[in-house]
Amino acid sequence: MNLCRTPHARRLGALRRQCLPSTTGLGVLPARVMVPYPTSSSRRWMSVKPMENTAPSATTRKKVTLASLRKLRSEQTPITMMTAYDYPTALLTHSSGIDMTLVGDSLSQVALGHYNTNQITLDEMIHHCKAVARGAKTPFIISDMPFGSFEASVQHGVESAVRLVKEGYVDGVKIEGGREIIPLVKRLTEVGIPVMPHLGLQPQRATSLSGYMVQARSSGAAKELYETAVALQQAGAFALLLEAIPHKVASYITDKLDLLTIGIGAGPGTSGQVLVASDVLGVFPTEEEAEVAATEHGQQLQAVKVAKFVRRFGNVGSESRRAVREYIEAVRSGGFPEIGKETYMIAKEEWDEFERSMGPGRG
Ligand SMILES: Nc1nc(=O)c2c([nH]1)NC[C@@H]1CN(c3ccc(C(=O)N[C@@H](CCC(=O)O)C(=O)O)cc3)CN21
Ligand SMILES: CC(C)C(=O)C(=O)O
């Protein structure tokens, strides 16, 4: 039977695979070739309909795999990673061509408003992973394992990671920790879940470290970090996240090890970079911006202090606030909505009939 012609195979093909002529003489078989997800043909019904994306790069891009990430490293092309917390931010990573999308537990702070990252639960992470997976079709998706989901035992860690993969549809997991997570990294690798340990500044330990402090600044601490990195590679880690460490230490680790290194505050010598989406976009105001908003518009903004390693590539926050100010102003002044442009009509005879039976309205 020609598998490619069955309706089921056609559906499969339409989703992820391409049928290629077989060289085995067994006919045409569905080949394991990844094709783009049907993003260009799919339309969603929203109050504002997204335009179809016709950019050639978006229609030809394939799902990022471990092999394609390793190829980027071997070609010395820096890997790009950014966080996403929901469907719109996931679509942003997907449509922009980001290589890896991180459902970071920073979402506890930047999307849920908690004081730190330790308050988010595994169930909440899974809820957000599901939304991200619906939007981030091409990037390799990694979820953080939240505080409390892996420390008690290897078994608990495996159960939590399996839930993130099975219910949250992510491709791999990131775990904050050093030597103490080696047994878990080994076990997850054995069961086929790609693991990215997170070394250096570990936000889940901010309380015990009395803040978000740069790590591995002494020769002893740098040596310990390097040896831990080697041990985690031996345990099977496919990548390391290196946060807030001297750039020379991060470059050294990258040069000596085979795995991928993704840095944040670790300099340009790693295999790739990661930043939090709201930092890249400039969603939250700086203290100066909050002061300006208070004096000029009477707005009470929640200012945030960001780390030295953050570069803002946009100022989406000020644009959002301007849009909402104008919306409020337009409603209050009667300028929105505009009849004809933003309203619906009723045929004259229908309206006349309505008023005849019900009595006149406003005139
Ligand atoms: N918006 C956002 N961006 C992040 O990168 C981020 C989060 N939230 N939440 C979770 C963690 C917390 N992170 C942080 C937060 C603060 C610093 C920070 O201010 N570090 C000091 C270093 C001080 C020192 O040791 O010298 C700095 O000045 O950069 C670093 C990482 C990174 N993560
Ligand atoms: C800061 C990044 C790397 C992270 O761990 C997160 O988003 O939670």
Predicted-complex ipTM score: 0.98
3-class DSSP assignment, residue 129: helix
pLDDT single digits (tens) 61-81? 899 999 999 999 999 999 999
Residue 90 and residue 182 in one domain:
yes
Ligand located closest to 206 CA: 1
Residue 67 and residue 204 in one domain:
yes
- pLDDT > 80? residue 28: no
Closest CA to 307 of 270, 264, 261, 267: 264
Residue 19 and residue 149 in one domain:
no
> Which of 115, 174, 199, 212 has the most ligand 1 atoms within 8 A of CB, as the residue to mutate?
212
pLDDT single digits (tens) 10-21? 444 343 333 333
Q: Which residue has the higher pLDDT, 322 or 56?
A: 322
Question: Which phi and psi (to 5°) does residue 102 adopt?
Answer: -110, 120
Q: How high is the pLDDT of residue 27?
A: 35
Residue 88 and residue 17 in one domain:
no
- Domain span at residue 29 reads 3-34
User: If pLDDT is split at 50, 70 and 90, which confidence band does 299 have?
Assistant: confident
Distance CA 276, CA 203 (A): 13
Assess whether the C-beta atom of 202 lies below 6 angstroms from ligand 1. Answer: no
Domain limit, last residue, from 221, 251, 281? 281
Domain limit, last residue, from 233, 253, 281? 281
pLDDT single digits (tens) 102-157? 999 999 999 999 999 999 999 999 999 999 999 999 999 999 999 999 999 999 99
Residue-averaged pLDDT of the chain:
88
- Atom of ligand 2 minimally distant from the CA of 203: 5
DSSP-derived secondary structure for 321-340:
HHHHHHHHHHHHHT-SSPTT
Q: How high is the pLDDT of residue 45?
A: 58
Closest CA to 85 of 98, 97, 70, 102: 102
- Which contacts of 189-192 are long-range, i.e. CB under 8 A and separated by 24 or more positions? 189/235, 189/236, 189/237, 190/236, 191/158, 191/162
Residue 197 and residue 271 in one domain:
yes
Ligand located closest to 309 CA: 1
Q: How high is the pLDDT of residue 272?
A: 98
Residue 76 and residue 198 in one domain:
yes
In a domain, 334, yes or no: no
Domain count of the fold of the chain: 2
Residue 144 and residue 277 in one domain:
yes
- Atom of ligand 2 minimally distant from the CA of 102: 7
Burial of 192-216, coded b for 16+ CB within 10 Å and e otherwise, reads ebbbbbbbbbbbbeeeeeeebeebb
Q: For 18-27, 166-175, 288-297, 312-321, which range has the lowest pLDDT when averaged over its residues? A: 18-27
Q: How high is the pLDDT of residue 236?
A: 98
Q: What is the CATH number of the domain that holds 92?
A: 3.20.20.60
Amino acid at 201: L
Annotated catalytic, 243? yes
- Atom of ligand 2 minimally distant from the CA of 264: 3
Residue 130 and residue 23 in one domain:
no
For atom 19 of ligand 1, which residue has the closest CA? Answer: 307
Assess whether the C-beta atom of 244 lies below 6 angstroms from ligand 1. Answer: yes
Residue 249 and residue 192 in one domain:
yes
Q: How high is the pLDDT of residue 300?
A: 87
Residue 30 and residue 67 in one domain:
no
Residue 116 and residue 240 in one domain:
yes
Distance CA 128, CA 176 (A): 19
Residue 132 and residue 17 in one domain:
no
pTM over 0.90, yes/no: no
